[in-house]
């Protein structure tokens, strides 16, 4: 908190607090600062102190004042107008020319790269030692239970594999033993892929990137579910693609919107999280899945199925790749969520006709992937350790989710979707962008709903991680901050 005993004035302290958050992108471009009166009340200072602090931020070029609207964060790294208009480099791409299938107005992906970096930087930014509601991973102490992993690494490095794996680039497609293990694992969820259809990557994110760079060129239209993972919006935007947001509902994507996009724009690709969708927790229904595949057949587009959360989902969950037989679908998964974020082992399974093209793209980006970690992971899969670990994580998550949901409801929140998986999509009733800054003052990093949309706009939803919100301490702070927002009655 601000302190009067510091050798720096309250104005300087307040200005530096906002400046640090802006530079670290925890306050992303376009975000609105609290009003002068609201900020003064929150920080326990005079309105004059806030005005002076905001003036300092204006002088530093970090914020801009908009008449009758307040102070907003500037994109201080913004390209020049000429650079912004260059093909494939724009941070804003028109999605529809003329009437939009989403309601008659043009939709733009504006600043999505900033939304994404705000979310990613939050993954690395430790707001405090408190459990963080906005994180996208399991807590470290949960992952530490996978003690079999270090043992597998020790076993691999104690063998001839250490020398062999260190003195060569390894196999371009990835370690053969791991690809065989992955083929067997996919068969268990009815996705039938031969080892030669499977390619390892540096995490699931690189797998998604390889697919985009292989199948698309700048200007191509791509359908992406909304709300969704903002990194995907931003990544496609940075490649120069035209992003077409498709509303995601409990059964699946909005098929009517997809149909209109297909007729108007002939998209080349659809990116979907079928199972335990982030952030809603929805899972695709069989009926919706069949209709999506029929659309893909009629309008000749591919589907990328991101099954990042499949490890904590039932094996019988509906997956497009299982129904499609990997004809138009490319299946993507990884192990960062369930095992170790820093191992960065992911993979994709693709139709045979696409494998060589995808491999060419991988070779141009990373040559190959770390075979020693892949060999260790193959050992963990073959010995059943990964499966048993995932079972334990599912059981523990179910208990945490029940506690978190109860606390959220008691705190006056509601759920916009049925709680499932790792995340909850929570209705708060207030602008969560503004709320995020106030909670950051308390040491908690939350994930505002605006981060999960292609266009940043005020949103009353937020995503919570069930594993880090099962402690009553967070909800007590939440209730106090919400009461402060309401003010005296």
What are the pLDDT digits (tens) for 258-305? 999 999 999 999 999 999 999 999 999 999 999 999 999 999 999 999
Helix (H, G, I), strand (E, B) or coil at 328: coil
**pLDDT, position 77:** 62
146, pLDDT greater than 70: yes
Which residues does residue 463 pair with via DSSP β-bridges, in sequence order? 425, 447
How confident is the model over 320-360, as pLDDT tens digits?
999 999 999 999 999 988 987 788 899 999 999 999 999 99
Where are the domain boundaries for CATH 3.90.1150.10 in the chain?
123-142+388-486
Q: What residues contact 88, with CB distance under 8 A and at least 6 apart?
A: 218, 219, 239, 240
Percentage with pLDDT > 70 across the chain: 87
**pLDDT, position 127:** 64
Contact yes or no for 230/452 (Cβ under 8 A): yes
In this structure, what is the dihedral angle of CA atoms 467, 119, 218, 75, given to the nearest 10 degrees? 170
Contact yes or no for 436/451 (Cβ under 8 A): no
Contact yes or no for 445/122 (Cβ under 8 A): yes
Give the whole-angstrom CA distance, residue 485 versus residue 171.
Answer: 57
137, pLDDT greater than 70: yes
Give the whole-angstrom CA distance, residue 20 versus residue 238.
Answer: 25
In this structure, what is the dihedral angle of CA atoms 385, 390, 393, 395, given to the nearest 10 degrees? -110
Distances (CA, A) of 267 to 245, 263, 324: 12, 9, 19
421: phi then psi, degrees, rounded to nearest 5: 70, -150
Show the tokens assigned to 111: 């600043």
Q: What is the pTM of this model?
A: 0.83
Q: Is the peptide bond before 227 cis (omega within 30 degrees of 0)?
A: yes
> If pLDDT is split at 50, 70 and 90, which confidence band does 106 have?
very low
104, pLDDT greater than 70: no
> If pLDDT is split at 50, 70 and 90, which confidence band does 119 have?
low
Least confident of 26-40, 150-164, 231-245, 390-404: 150-164
**pLDDT, position 440:** 87
Distance of CA 260 to the CA centre of its chain: 26
**pLDDT, position 476:** 95
Where are the domain boundaries for CATH 1.10.10.10 in the chain?
10-73
**Signed CA dihedral, 107, 110, 114, 118: sign only:** negative
Name the pairing type of β-strands 70-73 and 63-66: antiparallel
Name the pairing type of β-strands 461-465 and 423-427: antiparallel
**pLDDT, position 283:** 97
Give the whole-angstrom CA distance, residue 262 versus residue 283.
Answer: 23
* 65 membership: H or E segment, kind and range: strand 63-66
Q: What residues contact 309, with CB distance under 8 A and at least 6 apart?
A: 273, 275, 276, 278, 337, 421, 422
110: phi then psi, degrees, rounded to nearest 5: -105, 115
Exposure string for 304-318, b = 16+ CB within 10 A, e = fewer: bbbbbbbbbbeeebb
The count of other CB atoms within 10 Å of the CB of residue 393 is 22
**pLDDT, position 122:** 57
373, pLDDT greater than 60: yes
Where are the domain boundaries for CATH 3.40.640.10 in the chain?
149-383
Pick the CATH number of 123-142+388-486 from 3.90.1150.10, 3.30.450.20, 3.90.1300.10, 2.70.240.10: 3.90.1150.10
| End-to-end CA separation in angstroms for the chain | 26
Based on DSSP, count helices (H) and strands (E) in the chain, helices before strands.
Answer: 19, 15
CATH code of the domain occupying 149-383: 3.40.640.10
Give the whole-angstrom CA distance, residue 117 versus residue 24.
Answer: 9
Expressed in percent and rounded to 5, the helix, strand and coil fractions of the chain are 45, 15, 40
Class of domain 10-73: mainly alpha
């Amino acid at each position: 908190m601000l302190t009067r005993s510091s050798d720096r004035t309250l104005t300087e302290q307040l200005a530096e607090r906002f400046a640090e958050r802006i530079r670290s992108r925890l306050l992303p471009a376009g975000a609105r600062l609290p009003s002068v009166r609201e900020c003064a009340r929150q920080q326990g200072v005079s309105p004059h102190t806030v005005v002076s602090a905001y003036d300092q931020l204006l002088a530093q070029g970090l914020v801009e004042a908009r008449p009758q609207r307040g102070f907003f964060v500037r994109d201080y790294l913004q390209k020049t107008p000429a650079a912004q208009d260059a093909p494939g480099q724009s941070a804003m791409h028109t999605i529809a020319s003329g009437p939009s299938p989403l309601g008659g107005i043009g939709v733009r992906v504006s600043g999505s790269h900033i939304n994404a970096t705000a979310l990613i930087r939050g993954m690395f930014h430790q707001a405090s030692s408190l459990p963080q509601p906005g994180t996208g991973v399991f807590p470290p102490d949960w992952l530490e239970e996978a003690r079999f992993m270090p043992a597998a690494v020790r076993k691999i490095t104690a063998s001839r594999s250490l020398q062999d794996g260190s003195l060569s680039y390894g196999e371009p497609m990835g370690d053969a033993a791991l690809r065989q293990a992955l083929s067997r694992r996919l068969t268990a969820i009815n996705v039938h892929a031969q080892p030669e259809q499977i390619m390892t990557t540096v995490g699931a994110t690189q797998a998604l990137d390889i697919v985009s760079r292989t199948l698309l060129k700048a200007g191509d239209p791509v359908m992406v579910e909304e709300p969704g993972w903002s990194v995907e919006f931003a990544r496609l935007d940075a490649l120069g693609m035209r992003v077409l947001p498709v509303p995601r509902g409990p059964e699946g994507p909005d098929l009517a919107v997809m149909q209109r996009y297909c007729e108007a724009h002939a998209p080349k690709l659809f990116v979907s999280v079928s199972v335990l969708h982030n952030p809603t927790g929805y899972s695709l229904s069989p009926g919706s899945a069949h209709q999506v595949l029929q659309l893909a057949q009629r309008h000749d587009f591919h589907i990328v199925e991101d099954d990042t959360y499949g490890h904590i989902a039932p094996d019988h969950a509906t997956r497009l790749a299982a129904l499609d037989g990997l004809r138009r679908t490319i299946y993507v998964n990884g192990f960062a969520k369930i095992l170790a974020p820093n191992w960065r082992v992911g993979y994709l399974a693709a139709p045979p006709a696409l494998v060589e093209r995808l491999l060419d793209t991988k070779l141009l980006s990373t040559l190959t992937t770390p075979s020693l970690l892949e060999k260790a992971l193959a050992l963990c899969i073959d010995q059943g350790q990964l499966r048993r670990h995932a079972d334990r994580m599912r059981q523990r998550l179910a208990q945490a989710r029940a506690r978190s949901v109860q606390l959220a409801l008691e705190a006056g929140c509601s759920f916009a979707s049925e709680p499932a998986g790792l995340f909850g999509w929570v209705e708060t009733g207030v602008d969560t962008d503004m709320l995020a800054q106030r909670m950051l003052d308390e040491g908690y990093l939350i994930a505002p709903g605006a981060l999960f949309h292609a266009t940043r706009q005020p949103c009353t939803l937020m995503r919570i991680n069930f594993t880090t919100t099962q402690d009553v301490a967070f909800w007590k702070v939440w209730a106090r901050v919400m009461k402060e927002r309401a003010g005296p009655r």
